[in-house]
Amino acid sequence: MEYEFLRDLNGAVKVRMSMGHEAIGQWFNEEVQGNLALLDSVEAAAAAVRGSERQWQHIGHEYTLWLDEEEVMIRANQLALEGDELEEGMRYYDEESLALCGLEDFLAVIAAWRAFLQGR
């Protein structure tokens, strides 16, 4: 999973993710937006589920994040619609609205996000 951090014209941090992981980037861009308390919650949840079969989820405005001891899934809330409700030809957008990655990889992105915010 590749990613790049940048600042927009207003100085806000944005992340661009590699193909197949765009939803992760959108989660950071839409849900986190500098909300370090949310990142703290995710890191605490990751520590809490380690060595167990428990799962944790955070439902945001645009995206929902699920994690267990091995994997993270981020899905756009709009995908919670039943499959029959989507118009014909709209399914290909799912790839930009759903992403999976390993928990350790996701925690590494969080650490890199924090480092970028601090100018390191």
Q: Which two tokens stand for residue 100?
A: 């999976």
Checking if the pLDDT of 23 tops 80, the result is yes
For residue 116, the Cα-to-chain-centroid distance in whole angstroms is 17
First to last CA, the chain: 21
Q: What is the pLDDT of residue 62?
A: 95
Q: What is the pLDDT of residue 78?
A: 87
pTM of the model: 0.85
Rounded average pLDDT over 9-36 = 92
CA distances from 50 to 4, 19, 44, 45, 92 (A): 28, 28, 10, 9, 34
Rounded average pLDDT over 73-87 = 72
